[in-house]
Structures are given as structure tokens and as C-alpha cells.
């Protein structure tokens, strides 16, 4: 696990955007795994800027989103389909047929989940996966207690997650109780992983994910098992790390390291 600590979230997002751009320049037909929520918004803004000013090309890129609320149609403004169009897809040259998101309105979720996993394999697997982290340590909607080998499936959202996400809805009662989500096992198969976290409210989850045991009680801790996972944190999200100074030291020395 590589832990990078920045003065603020904008700097963390800029660094993440540079890593995504490097990936796309090295492999224009990359497969990206994408997240929703507030954590990747500044990253997406930066990628849009790079598309406009540097010609960052998405024409051959394929994307797979992590999750979607059950019961929300693609056109529902609260759906993650709508979120991705609003925050990224409508502003870059990605081909509509290369965009994959889990369906929140399937007639057969079990079959859909298997189909989704198969599309990831047929696309060649995810080259780079973008993640946020929940206050309970979840990645995608793999809530505490999720199997670390889990695949795409339906999960019941924890009450804490519904409360955290109520800000996007009129009231907490409107937040769906279920979501379709890639599993921890699905995520761990990505070749490279970037996790963005901002703010004090993520500090405890980050401490457990980085310095705690690998446990289903904080599914982000499974990233300790991944060979190429980078956490991009602002100072507040990194505040509770006992290894914070060590990570900062590595970050400073890294460009010169043998």
C-alpha cells in the first residue's frame, strides 16, 4: 500500500488525475473502474480539464462503475448513472457503448451480476480502479461484514451509509436500502487501485484500513493485500495514522529512492 498525504483534497485529486492520464497515455484503450460520491468529483473535474486543454483521449476507454442504488432508474437524478453523466461522461469523448454501470432496475439481478462480471473479463479486466471510502470503511458498497472474496451482488446498505448519503436526497427515508455493488474480490482483481479520501470524518476508517488488520469489518483494509494500491489523502483524512510522518518522509524521498 502506498500512502500519499497532501495539504488538501485538490492536490490529492490533481495527483490522481496525473496517474489516470499516465495510464491512458500508456494504454489508450484502458479499462477504468469508477466511483461516485463526493471523493472523486475533483478528480473528474481535472480529467475534464485535461481532456479540453491537453487532448486527453477517452475515445477507446471502457469504464465500469462500482455500484448503483436498487430501485433507481438511469434517468433518476439521484442515480449513479445520472451522477456519472453529470460529473464526467457528458464532458469527455467516451463512447456511450463503452460505459458500463450496474443496473438498479433489473428483472433478474442474479443474472445481471453474472453478466456484469463477465463484461469486465471480456473487456480484459480493470486496469485502474478509482475508489472512495465510507465512514465505516466500505469500498464500493461492501459494508462491514462483507466477504473479502465477494463478487458483484446486492448488498443491504448499513444505516450509517444511508445517513451519510442522505445529503443527496430530500430525506434519509428516500435513501434506498439496497445497492448492487462490485465485490471486494472483483475490486482486488484491478491491476492498479487509487483510493481518494478527504476530511476528518474519514480519518478513523483510513487508520483501520491502513494500520489495522485485514478484516471484513473494514473492507478497505483488503487493499493491504493488493500489489499496486495507492491512497491519496488530504491531511485531515491522514490525521489518525500513527505512521503519518513515515509516509510523509517516504513521499519526500521517493523521487530520489533507488
Instruction: Judge whether 177 counts as a catalytic residue.
Output: no
> Any idea what the Cα angle at residue 104 is, between residues 101 and 110, rounded to 5°?
90
Among positions 23-52, residues that touch ligand F6R (CB under 6 A) are: 35-39
Instruction: Judge whether 143 counts as a catalytic residue.
Output: yes
Spatial contact of 235 and 7, defined as CB atoms under 8 Å apart: yes
Residues 6+ apart with CB under 8 A from 172: 162, 163, 166
> Any idea what the Cα angle at residue 230 is, between residues 224 and 235, rounded to 5°?
105
Task: Name the closest residue to ligand F6R (Cβ).
Answer: 132
Task: Determine which one of 127, 143, 164, 234 is catalytic.
Answer: 143
The stretch among 55-63, 116-124, 135-143, 210-218 that binds ligand F6R (CB under 6 A) is 135-143
C-alpha cell at 129: 480502479
Q: Pick between residue 62 and residue 79 the one whose CB is nearest to ligand F6R.
A: 79
Q: How far apart are CA 223 and CA 210, in angstroms?
A: 8
Residues 6+ apart with CB under 8 A from 206: 133, 197, 220, 231, 233, 237, 238, 240, 241
How many residues of this chain bind ligand F6R (CB under 6 A)?
13
Options 94, 140, 188, 229; binder of ligand F6R; rule CB under 6 A = 140
Q: Pick between residue 4 and residue 140 the one whose CB is nearest to ligand F6R.
A: 140
Q: How far apart are CA 254 and CA 247, in angstroms?
A: 10
Instruction: Judge whether 14 counts as a catalytic residue.
Output: no
CA 38 to chain centre: 10
Options 139, 184, 193, 206; binder of ligand F6R; rule CB under 6 A = 139
Instruction: Judge whether 234 counts as a catalytic residue.
Output: no
Q: Pick between residue 61 and residue 205 the one whose CB is nearest to ligand F6R.
A: 205
Among positions 67-86, residues that touch ligand F6R (CB under 6 A) are: 67
Q: How far is the CB of 250 from ligand F6R (least distance, A)?
A: 25
Q: Residue 132: exposed, middle, or buried by beta-carbon count in 10 A (0-12, 13-18, 19+)?
A: buried
Name the one residue in this structure whose C-alpha cell is 458483484: 152
Quick note: the x/- pattern for ligand F6R over 162-201, rule CB under 6 A, is ----------------------------------------
Task: Determine which one of 138, 164, 208, 234 is catalytic.
Answer: 138
Tell me the CA distances in angstroms from 115 to 111, 168, 211, 228, one per residue in order. 6, 29, 36, 27
Among positions 9-28, residues that touch ligand F6R (CB under 6 A) are: none
C-alpha cell at 43: 478528480
Per CB under 6 A, does 134 bind ligand F6R? yes
Site residues (vs ligand F6R, CB under 6 A): 35-39, 66-67, 132-134, 138-140
The residues annotated with a catalytic role in the active site are: 67, 136, 138, 143
Amino acid at each position: 500500500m502506498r500512502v500519499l498525504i497532501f495539504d488538501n483534497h485538490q492536490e490529492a485529486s490533481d495527483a490522481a488525475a496525473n496517474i489516470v492520464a499516465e495510464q491512458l497515455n500508456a494504454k489508450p484503450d484502458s479499462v477504468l473502474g469508477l466511483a461516485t460520491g463526493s471523493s472523486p468529483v475533483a478528480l473528474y473535474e481535472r480529467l475534464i480539464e485535461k481532456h479540453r486543454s491537453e487532448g486527453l483521449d477517452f475515445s477507446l476507454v471502457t469504464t465500469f462503475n462500482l455500484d448503483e442504488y436498487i430501485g433507481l432508474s438511469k434517468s433518476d437524478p439521484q442515480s449513479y448513472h445520472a451522477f456519472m453523466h453529470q460529473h464526467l461522461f457528458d464532458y469527455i469523448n467516451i463512447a456511450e457503448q463503452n460505459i458500463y454501470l450496474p443496473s438498479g432496475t433489473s428483472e433478474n439481478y442474479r443474472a445481471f451480476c453474472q453478466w456484469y462480471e463477465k463484461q469486465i473479463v471480456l473487456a480484459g479486466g480493470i486496469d485502474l480502479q478509482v475508489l472512495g471510502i465510507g465512514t465505516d470503511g466500505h469500498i464500493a458498497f461492501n459494508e462491514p461484514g462483507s466477504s473479502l472474496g465477494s463478487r458483484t451482488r446486492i448488498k443491504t446498505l448499513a444505516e450509517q451509509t444511508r445517513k451519510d448519503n442522505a445529503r443527496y436526497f430530500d430525506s434519509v427515508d428516500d435513501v434506498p436500502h439496497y445497492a448492487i455493488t462490485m465485490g471486494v474480490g472483483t475490486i482486488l482483481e484491478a491491476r492498479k487501485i487509487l483510493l481518494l479520501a478527504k476530511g476528518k470524518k474519514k480519518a478513523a476508517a483510513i487508520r483501520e484500513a491502513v494500520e489495522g488488520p485485514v478484516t471484513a469489518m473494514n473492507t478497505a483494509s483488503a487493499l493491504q493485500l493488493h500489489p499496486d494500491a495507492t491512497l491519496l489523502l488530504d491531511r485531515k483524512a491522514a490525521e489518525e495514522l500513527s505512521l503519518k510522518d513515515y509516509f510523509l518522509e517516504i513521499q519526500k524521498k521517493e523521487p530520489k529512492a533507488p
